[in-house]
């Protein structure tokens, strides 16, 4: 199955669900499993926000996350020239397990594909309809793959042929600091191991450790429906990797804020903002050394108390620091 066919199949399933909604379910408002999918950022151990309430002891959650991101940026100055033109699709199989009443362990195994993709025409048409600038993408070859960074006449990065493979494995854990009705807080950690090919931007070559706090609160509207808000903040430490090692920073701060509303017992809507400080320094290009902020809009469809599907679309609020657009799909089940 090609990426385009797979994407169309996911869209078809989504509209089928809207026409024939689930009968018995319980909507849950939890963060999107989203991180910056820029080719130069997704190789590091930037974690998703996670849940404010952990799994009960002995329970397991397994999920498949698909992130399809379309990138276009072409900028230069007197010393540097960067082109990020292509699509990256990241498939992640994730599992977490309630080991003890307040302790959870997990693992994430990514499979990463870089290609010319198929979304360029759609995005150009979308920009044209709403009068948004294309930023030069309409002048570039359509569905091209070229991730390249040149500095002082030396080519530091070049990916121009499609390829796919395993990314960097991530081990996760979380501890419940407190849990009350409609709210909770966890302290989380994630260790990313250099199992992906850094030459093909499927890994960084570094070992990364992330630590963060996550809190969520919620309630019920008098007029009907439930609401929830959540936030997280943390820091990511990295050893020296193989991608721009002379410019790579050794730590990055990150955080998320989100709010959601569930008008029906099987459907919720969410808005979330993700941000992080730069991964690289010594550059005047935003794609390399600017703080990134992206906005994700979407929701969750709950098929039952155990099975749910998240669907989200992100935009780069800080232009050129994250993909022009990224689509997130996460199907998860608990048992």
CATH of the domain at 240: 2.40.160.40
- Checking if the pLDDT of 3 tops 50, the result is no
Mean pLDDT of 312-328: 93
From the number of C-beta atoms within 10 Å of its C-beta (0-12, 13-18, 19+), residue 310 rates as: buried
Contact 69, 292 (CB under 8 A): no
pLDDT recorded at residue 32 = 96
Pair of tokens at residue 56: 């009960």
Contact 170, 101 (CB under 8 A): no
How far does CA 303 lie from the centroid of its chain? 23
* Mean pLDDT, the chain, whole residue set: 90
pLDDT band, residue 133 (cuts 50/70/90): low
Task: Please choose, from the candidates 52, 47, 17, 53, the residue with its C-alpha nearest in 3D space to the C-alpha of residue 35.
Answer: 47
- Checking if the pLDDT of 327 tops 50, the result is yes
pLDDT recorded at residue 16 = 45
Contact 45, 238 (CB under 8 A): yes
Mean pLDDT of 72-92: 95
Instruction: Report the sign of the C-alpha dihedral through residues 249, 36, 254, 76, in that order.
Output: positive
297 DSSP assignment:
E
Contacts of 96-100 spanning 24+ positions with Cβ under 8 A = 96/55, 96/60, 96/61, 96/172, 96/174, 97/55, 97/59, 97/60, 97/61, 98/54, 98/55, 98/56, 98/57, 98/58, 98/59, 98/60, 99/57, 100/57
pLDDT recorded at residue 130 = 67
Mean pLDDT of 164-171: 98
E strands present in the chain: 60-76, 80-100, 103-115, 146-151, 154-159, 163-166, 170-180, 183-192, 208-220, 226-238, 251-264, 267-276, 292-302, 307-316, 325-334
Q: How many domains does the chain have?
A: 1
pLDDT recorded at residue 127 = 67
- Checking if the pLDDT of 64 tops 80, the result is yes
pLDDT recorded at residue 261 = 95
pLDDT recorded at residue 2 = 44
285 is in which domain, residue-wise? 3-334
Contact 158, 172 (CB under 8 A): no
Pair of tokens at residue 104: 């959870």
pLDDT recorded at residue 134 = 66
pLDDT recorded at residue 250 = 97
pLDDT 10s digits, 14-43? 444 444 455 445 578 999 999 999 999 999
- Checking if the pLDDT of 108 tops 70, the result is yes
Mean pLDDT of 205-227: 92
- Checking if the pLDDT of 13 tops 50, the result is no
| DSSP 3-state of 120 | helix
Which DSSP string do the residues of 260-291 spell out, in sequence order?
A: EEEEETTEEEEEEEEEE--SB-S-S-HHHHS-
Mean pLDDT of 104-112: 98
Mean pLDDT of 150-166: 96
Quickly tell me which residue has 């809507």 as its tokens. Answer: 269
Contact 175, 112 (CB under 8 A): no
Q: Which of residues 219 and 16 earns the better pLDDT score?
A: 219
pLDDT 10s digits, 247-301? 999 999 999 999 999 999 899 999 999 999 999 999 999 999 999 999 999 999 9
pLDDT band, residue 5 (cuts 50/70/90): very low
């Amino acid at each position: 199955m090609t990426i385009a066919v797979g994407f169309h199949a996911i869209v078809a399933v989504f509209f089928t669900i809207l026409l024939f909604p689930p009968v018995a379910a319980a909507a849950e408002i939890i963060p999107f499993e989203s991180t910056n999918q820029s080719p130069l950022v997704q190789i590091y151990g930037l974690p998703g926000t996670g849940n404010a309430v952990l799994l009960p002891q002995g329970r397991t959650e397994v999920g498949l996350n698909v992130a399809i991101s379309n990138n276009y940026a072409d900028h230069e100055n007197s010393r540097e020239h960067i082109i990020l033109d292509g699509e990256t699709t990241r498939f992640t199989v994730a599992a977490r397990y309630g080991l003890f009443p307040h302790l959870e362990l997990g693992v994430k195994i990514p499979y990463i594909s870089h290609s010319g993709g198929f979304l360029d025409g759609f995005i150009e048409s979308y920009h044209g309809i709403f009068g948004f600038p294309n930023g030069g993408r309409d002048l570039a070859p359509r569905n091209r793959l070229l991730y390249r960074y040149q500095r002082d006449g030396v080519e530091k990065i070049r990916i121009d042929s499609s390829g796919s493979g395993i990314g960097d494995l991530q081990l996760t854990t979380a501890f419940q600091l407190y849990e009350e009705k409609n709210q909770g807080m966890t302290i989380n950690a994630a260790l990313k191991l250099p199992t992906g090919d850094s030459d093909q931007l499927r890994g960084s070559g570094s070992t990364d450790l992330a630590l963060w706090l996550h809190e969520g609160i919620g309630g019920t509207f008098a007029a009907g429906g439930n609401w929830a808000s959540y936030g997280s903040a943390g820091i990511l430490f990295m050893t020296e990797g193989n991608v721009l090692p002379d410019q790579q920073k050794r730590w990055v701060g990150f955080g998320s804020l989100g709010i959601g509303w569930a008008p029906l017992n099987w459907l919720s809507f969410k808005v979330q903002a993700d941000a992080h400080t730069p991964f690289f320094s010594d550059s005047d290009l935003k794609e390399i050394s600017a703080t990134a902020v992206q906005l994700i809009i979407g929701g969750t469809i709950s098929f039952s108390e155990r099975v749910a599907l998240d669907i989200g679309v992100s935009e780069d609020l800080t232009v050129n620091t994250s993909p022009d657009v990224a689509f997130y799909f996460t199907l998860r089940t608990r048992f």
